[in-house]
Amino acid sequence: MGLHVFGLNAYQSVIRGGHVWFQARTSSERPYSQGDGADLLYCLNRETFDVHAPALRPGATVIYDPERLQIADSELPVGTRALPLPTMELARKYTTQPILQNAVGLGAAAFISGIPLDVLHGVLTDSFGKKAGDILQWNLRASTDGYEYAGRHASISERAVHRAGPPKLLMTGNQAIALGAAAAGCKFLAQYPMTPATSIMHWLAAHAQELGIVVKQAEDELAAIHMAIGASYGGVRAMTATSGGGFSLMVEALGMAGMTEVPLVVVESQRAGPSTGLPTKTEQGDLNLMLGAGQGDFPRAILAPSNPAEAYRATIDAFRLAEDWQIPVIVASDLHLSESIATVDREEVPTDVPIPSLLTVPSGTMEYRRYAYTASGVSPRALPGQPGLQYVTGSDEHDAQGHLISDVKSGIPVWIAERTRMMDKRMRKLAGVTAASRAPVFEGPPDAALTFVAWGSTVGAVRDALPLLAAQGHSTNLLYFPTVFPLDAVATRAAMAKTKKTLLVEGNFTGQFGRLLRAETGIHLANTLFKYDGEPFYPHELVARAREVLTDG
């Protein structure tokens, strides 16, 4: 219908059972989070009503099947109404399969939401048109029954949706990351499945043949990252993806990529820890891990997109930075971004991405030094097998030709000078990576009384909170960081100098980004809002905390 959509998929880690829900929000203006409140609640069980009824807004409708549960009028929130809908009875007209009740409920929900029946039928045809037998016709007829039943016993919502233009793209954060990798020229993915990163592998595997990408499900995360490093070393743009537990297993290999200066992209989709924590819930608790992964110092970059459109661009940026600076680059996602679904305008996902050659030195170059000392820290890169460009690569410290150094060479201690010089060379890359990365971004009125400071998926809820606060007469804006590391200290200090009061928003207990910001700039953000219950931020939480900070003298 041309509208913007944001969909939150919430489920539990138990194999069977637990409260599961899907929350969809739509608007002519882009929603950046699941938002607050609900205008329509479709309950498949009693628990759904008990948990979500408090979120209903005046004028909302509750749909339920009286054959499955009973809801008394006295239990309904003030100003709301109920539609007892015989989903099972209507579905049994066509089949004994109880799942068909979903089509009946969708039909009723579509009527109340103002969605034309032909639009719903188009979606059902897309979903079930290739299935054998009468499945499509059952769904079309059952949805029609639900639509017509609601037309006789309910009314269209006062917040009904309307057509707004041509259809938009719809994708999860993980699909956007996978698509961005393909656009950036990725030709190899090695991954071990771990929620919530698994669907990156699913998407690329499903499109591997048409995109010319090799997808390898490894036996574990250690194998996955080593395969990706090997592929990149051999001249293929490569990536791996995991969550915090899997990334913990990858840290030694990450250091090898840093030492050997092999480009590598790693997606780290965070979930609540420590250990296996809340396996199907979101958090931003792995930043310290990403900053310190791997023994010793070596240059890296950490990019933190906040929505699918940004995830697409950030993945392309990750491959560019990894190749240009010959470093590992981490795309910091989380479950909320990875698995939530949102609309994306077509112009936000350009596919004409320039893919430069991996070769930086011509064959036959005399006295080739793979790790030559350069002002930028980036040395000429040849691929294995190029004539006349043979070199040694090892995970030990080495000289410019790649030969490993030791404490004694020809009787003269040289390791001190060689080690220091090579470390200085590698770490010089950080200055260039900083200049080539996306700087901190301001959104909102420049003279706001309060500035939210955020990164990653929490940015979405902040964006939705800004207009709510403006409607209450509070001027607020947002400062967010597409690049978490290396942190541009100069740009950050300049941005912070424009703020009055600040409010740091993070999905972890200790304020890990706040600590990083203080370490890099000396700036301490005293006002904070931290969340670590596994659920994403909701705009009303940000509004309430912002009002507290604004009224605190």
Digit-coded pLDDT (tens) for 388-432: 888 889 999 999 999 988 755 555 666 688 899 999 999 999 999
Which two three-digit tokens encode residue 323? Answer: 């190749």
pLDDT digits (tens, 9 = 90+) for 95-138: 999 999 999 999 999 999 999 999 999 999 999 988 888 999 99
For range 291-297, the mean pLDDT: 96
Per-residue confidence (pLDDT) for residue 40, from 0 to 100: 98
For residue 255, is pLDDT > 70? yes
Summarize pLDDT for 75-107 with one digit per residue, the tens. Answer: 999 999 999 999 999 999 999 999 999 999 999
User: What are the sequence ranges of the domains in the chain?
Assistant: 37-153, 170-348, 359-421, 441-551
Residue 504 has phi, psi (to 5 degrees) of -80, 125
What value, to the nearest 5°, has the Cα angle with vertex 389 and ends 385 and 394? 80
The answer to whether domain 170-348 and domain 441-551 are alike in fold is: yes
Tell me how crowded residue 40 is: count the other CB atoms within 10 A of its CB.
18
Position 322 pLDDT exceeds 80: yes
Query: 486 preceded by cis ω (within 30°)?
Result: yes
What mean pLDDT is predicted for residues 159-173?
94
pLDDT of residue 416: 82
Strands (E), 390-431: none
* Domain spanning 37-153: CATH 1.10.3720.10: no
Query: What pLDDT is stored for residue 132 in this prediction?
Result: 83
- pLDDT for residue 8: 97
- pLDDT (0 to 100) of residue 410: 54
Q: What is the DSSP track for 87-103?
A: HHHHHTTT-S-GGGHHH
DSSP 422: H
Q: What percent of the chain has pLDDT over 90?
A: 89
Could you tell me which residue, 13 or 287, shows the higher pLDDT?
287
Quote the pLDDT of residue 412.
60
What's the CATH number for 170-348? 3.40.50.970
Under 8 Å CB-to-CB from 278, ≥6 apart: which residues?
13, 271, 272, 534
Residues 29, 31: Cα–Cα separation, whole Å: 6
User: For strand 238-242 and strand 188-191, is the pairing parallel, antiparallel, or unpaired?
Assistant: parallel
Summary mean pLDDT of the chain = 95
What are the CA-CA distances from residue 202 to residues 195, 206, 215, 225 (Å)? Answer: 12, 6, 9, 17
> What percentage of the chain has pLDDT greater than the value 70?
98
More confident residue, 342 or 386: 342
Write down the architecture of domain 441-551 according to CATH. Answer: 3-Layer(aba) Sandwich (3.40)
Q: H/E element holding 373? A: none
Q: How confident is the model at residue 15 (pLDDT cuts 50, 70, 90)?
A: confident
pLDDT at residue 390, as a whole number? 86
